[in-house]
Amino acid sequence: MRCPRCRAPMIIVERNEIELDHCLECHGVWFDGEELALLFTSLGAQDAGRRLAEIMAPRGKKPRERALACPRCGRKMDQVAVGSGAEVLLDRCRRGDGIWFDGGELHAVAARLGASGAEGFARAAAFVEEVFPRTLPPEAAPAGGPAAEET
Amino acid sequence: MWDQIASNRRKSVTLVVMMAAVLFVLGYASGELVAPGGGGYVGLLVALVLWVGLSLVAYFQGDRIFLGISQARRIRREDHPRLWNVVEEMKIASGLEVMPEIYIIDDPSPNAFATGRTPARAAVAVTTGLLGMLDRAQLQGVIAHEMAHIRNRDVLLMILLGVMLGAVVMIADLVVRAVFWGGVGRSRRSSSSGGGQAQLILLVAAIVLMIVAPILARLIYFAVSRRREYLADACGTQFTRYPEGLASALERIAAPGPTLKSATRATAPMYIINPLRREGMAAHNLTATHPPIQERVKILRAMAGASYTDYNAAFRQVTRRAGVIPPAELREAVPTRILEAAAPDGTTRQGRARQAGDALLTLSDYVFVTCACGNRLKIPPEAQFTRVKCPTCGRRHELAP
């Protein structure tokens, strides 16, 4: 799958059996609809998908910029604001294929979701923060840890 | 077993002939309608050519075309050992001589189908959604059902009937359009004499036929396929000796997903995860309209043993109709006990989804890297990276060129 922002091929990062697509160029993250469902199910937050939609509001007439295309279905995505207060945006596929976090907005969105009060979101946000920490730990030398590699 | 195949063949021939009759009568009537007086034979010829042509294509290329359209990927044993083993077990249980080809389709909606014109040239295809959803016993139930279709030679029959249904619908549709938009058939030459009225009656009869023929053809088609589904359920249960596997698989496939219970078409756009995105595949699939799933589940759960006799008894009890298994088959049925429920296989839905997804990624030449922090990185071949940095822990991994 290609990055909807910069068109570079994205890698897949699997952690705790959940997959996220990640662009190494612009650091954006694609959270696939199916993966989101798997995550919510594994957290026992069955109707989180619906409640997540409730705290997202389409951003009205003036889009911030040209709409991005969904990396899965290729159709235009909606820009939606998350929560209230200073504007935090993400892009959401209209068909429900998934949501796109720009590199810069990932942590802002995660914080908003975490603050929304719902147990499922807080843990989902924690998961995203865990996979993509705000700052990387000091560079681990490849020789230092037994970095198992297989191809 | 062989008796059933023979009896199936006789019934199949009858139905194919019936369907052909519908097609040819329709062809003749269409010809008469478009060009009265002699056109009927041309119409008959067109119907014949259409039928033979479509049938030949379907017979020789149907499975390839169908697998191609659904973008099915053929797998090897090492790509998805769990699926491969289940198919192999069921191949042995069903007594098929040749291992069918196995395909995976990248589609989140759970589904499966069998194809191939003979048992020696068969294929089973399942979606990634199905692989993620079902545990081993359930998957076995579904695969056994598909193997039963292959062994009973249902696939070829349904292909041939499907082609004829297609031809009937096509002809009727074309002629109805021609009549409505072109006003064909109202030949001025023939309306001069007293034959006008007779012609009018013929015209009306032909139009009625245009409407009735596709419905009739569909009824025949569905009647056949419904019976086939029940038989495949009965037959598959004999292979697994565990009716609950298929019953719970059907239930899971039919049930809306856990997140999706309150969804309707009107609220669907509100969801992040589209709750209604389960448009299955057309053609001969496991959940296609045929018999109501709830009924199939009830029958399977009412079985006292795993033999045909048990299925037939359960069928009569649940549907209050005469049995569905051919009598000759019932006479030979050997009492079979149901196996005890197997222990849970320890797989989770996420784990199974990963397994199915990884099989597809492997087929697409992705490179897999396991990082010491617990991440698995999957790198697409088009990225052409020589090294990759784990986004979680920052470790760098060199990739083999």
Phi, psi of A85 (to 5 degrees): 95, -160
Better-scored residue on pLDDT, B324 or B145: B145
Residue B7: inside a domain: yes
> End of a domain among B338, B354, B379?
B338
In total, how many domains does chain A have?
A: 1
Contacts of B267 in chain A (CB under 8 A): 50
Q: Are residues B167 and B81 in the same domain?
A: yes
Q: Are residues B168 and B121 in the same domain?
A: yes
Better-scored residue on pLDDT, B104 or A136: B104
Question: B284 pLDDT exceeds 60?
Answer: no
Residue B352: inside a domain: no
Question: B282 pLDDT exceeds 60?
Answer: no
Q: Are residues B73 and B29 in the same domain?
A: yes
In total, how many domains does chain B have?
A: 2
Prediction ipTM score? 0.83
For A18, which of B274, B350, B388 is closest by C-beta distance?
A: B350
- Measured between alpha carbons, how far is B167 from B163 in angstroms, rounded to an integer? 6
Q: Which amino acid is at B10?
A: R
DSSP category for residue B99: P
Q: Which domain holds residue A114?
A: 11-131
Q: How confident is the model at residue A8 (pLDDT cuts 50, 70, 90)?
A: very high
Nearest to residue B145, comparing CAs of B122, B114, B109? B114
Of B88, B89, B97, B146, the catalytic one is B146
Q: Are residues B334 and B385 in the same domain?
A: no
Q: Are residues B372 and B241 in the same domain?
A: no
* CB atoms near residue B237 (< 10 Å): 31
Which pLDDT belongs to residue B188?
46
Distances (CA, A) of B245 to B100, B103, B252, B256, B271: 21, 21, 11, 19, 31
Residue B382: inside a domain: yes
Question: B154 pLDDT exceeds 80?
Answer: yes
Which pLDDT belongs to residue B77?
93
Mutant choice from A21, A72, A93, A149 vs B, greatest count of B C-beta within 10 A: A149
- Report the percentage of chain B scoring pLDDT > 70: 83
Q: Tell me whether residues A33 and B274 touch, CB distance under 8 A.
A: yes
Question: B310 pLDDT exceeds 90?
Answer: yes
Tens digits of residue pLDDT in B42-81: 888 888 898 888 888 888 887 787 777 778 899 999 999 9
Residue A137: inside a domain: no
Q: Tell me whether residues A17 and B351 touch, CB distance under 8 A.
A: yes
Q: Is B329 a catalytic residue?
A: no
Residue B296: inside a domain: yes
A38 neighbors B349 (Cβ within 8 angstroms):
yes
Which pLDDT belongs to residue B85?
95
Better-scored residue on pLDDT, B154 or B313: B313
Which pLDDT belongs to residue B235?
92
Better-scored residue on pLDDT, B89 or B187: B89
Characterize A97-122 residue by residue with b for buried, 16 or more Cβ atoms within 10 angstroms of its Cβ, and e for exposed: bbbbbbbebbbbbbebbbebebebbb
Q: How confident is the model at residue B266 (pLDDT cuts 50, 70, 90)?
A: very low
Q: Are residues B213 and B308 in the same domain?
A: yes
Question: B147 pLDDT exceeds 50?
Answer: yes
Name the most confidently modeled range: A33-37, A109-113, B33-37, B52-56.
Answer: B52-56
Q: Are residues B180 and B317 in the same domain?
A: yes
Residue A22: inside a domain: yes
Query: B360: buried, middle or exposed (CB in 10 Å: 19+, 13-18, 0-12)?
Result: middle
Residue A138: inside a domain: no
CA atoms within 13 A on the CB side of B301: 12
Q: Tell me whether residues A97 and B274 touch, CB distance under 8 A.
A: yes
Residue B317: inside a domain: yes
Q: Which domain holds residue B40?
A: 1-256+284-338
If you average pLDDT over residues B256-272, what whole number do you get? 40
Which pLDDT belongs to residue A60?
60
If you average pLDDT over residues A113-133, what whole number do you get? 77
Better-scored residue on pLDDT, B184 or A104: A104
Q: Are residues B316 and B378 in the same domain?
A: no
Residue A149: inside a domain: no
Which pLDDT belongs to residue B142?
94
Minimal C-alpha gap between A137 and chain B (Å) = 6
If you average pLDDT over residues B153-182, what whole number do you get? 78
Residue A145: inside a domain: no
